[in-house]
Amino acid sequence: MTTSPILHLDDIHQVYGEGEAAVHALRGITVEVATGDYVAIMGPSGSGKSTLMNLLGCLDVASSGHYYLNGRDVSELDERQLASVRNREVGFIFQSFNLVSRMDALANVELPLIYGGVKRKERRERALEALDMVGLADRADHEPQQLSGGQQQRVAIARALVTNPSLVLADEPTGNLDSEATEEILSIFDNLADQGRTIVIITHEENVAERAHRVLTVKDGLVIADKKTRRKVTQ
Ligand code: ADP
Ligand code: MG
């Protein structure tokens, strides 16, 4: 089986600061992720996970090395081009949901489409479809504070999916949720993986990581383990 890599990091280094104060957050990361893979990134605090996430999501550019997203060398893009790649190619999901309060679920999900210049009628339709995918079509007119944590995260997943991104990128998506809501979110990710979505999820939790098909362990700015999980092998 050969699938083209959607993500290819080639000897990525990230250094914060200069001189004696310089922090080498990433020390030479080379990783490929195939289209449709479901990858968890684990590692202790300070190991470079957020730094890696910022690079993968095109929120930041590496000090050296190359990052190819869908075959395109992101390292060479300017701010405006990066913003456009972020909007079109990446669906972000955060630990704290990051929904806009006093805007209902539908309007929250529509936001990335507004930035993408999609017309009102199509926006509505696509946002409703995305809410339907996470089982919340009947909550479209609810504002974040009227929803449970798990429901808010499902709205955030709908918002991440509405642009039909190449990559779904989640940073501790279940970190603020109880075990029942965590399971809801993980089964949505399972469905997305079954549909062939590419997912990268950063997590501290073993039970979350083992739902992925592949687990990368990061330590001191290096990938120290890269394992296929049982789930993938038995499929
Ligand atoms: P993790 O997410 O795994 O906890 P980070 O990627 O946040 O790790 O951090 C990796 C290392 O880089 C840590 O030593 C951290 O202190 C440092 N670091 C992260 N961001 C910055 C920054 N903006 N400026 C200086 N050092 C940073
Ligand atoms: Mg972090």
Q: What is the pLDDT of residues 191-232, one digit of tens each?
A: 999 999 999 999 999 999 999 999 999 999 999 999 998 665
- Tens of pLDDT, residues 107-131: 999 999 998 899 999 999 999 999 9
How many domains would you assign to the chain?
1
Locate 48 and state its tokens: 């470079």
Which-ligand-closest: CA of 25? 1
Could you tell which of 29, 45, 51 is best to mutate to test the pocket of ligand 1, judged by most ligand atoms within 8 Å of the CB? 51
Position 3 in a domain? no
Question: Relative to the CA of 43, which ligand 1 atom is closest?
Answer: 3
Quick check: CB of 23 below 6 Å from ligand 1?
yes
pTM of the model: 0.93
Task: Return phi, psi of residue 73, to 5°.
Answer: -75, 100
CATH number of the domain that residue 202 is part of: 3.40.50.300
Position 68 in a domain? no
Position 28 in a domain? no
- Tens of pLDDT, residues 160-189: 999 999 999 999 999 999 999 999 999 999
Position 219 in a domain? yes
Residue 49 is part of which domain span? 36-61+77-228
Q: How far does residue 43's CA lie from ligand 2's centre (Å)?
A: 9
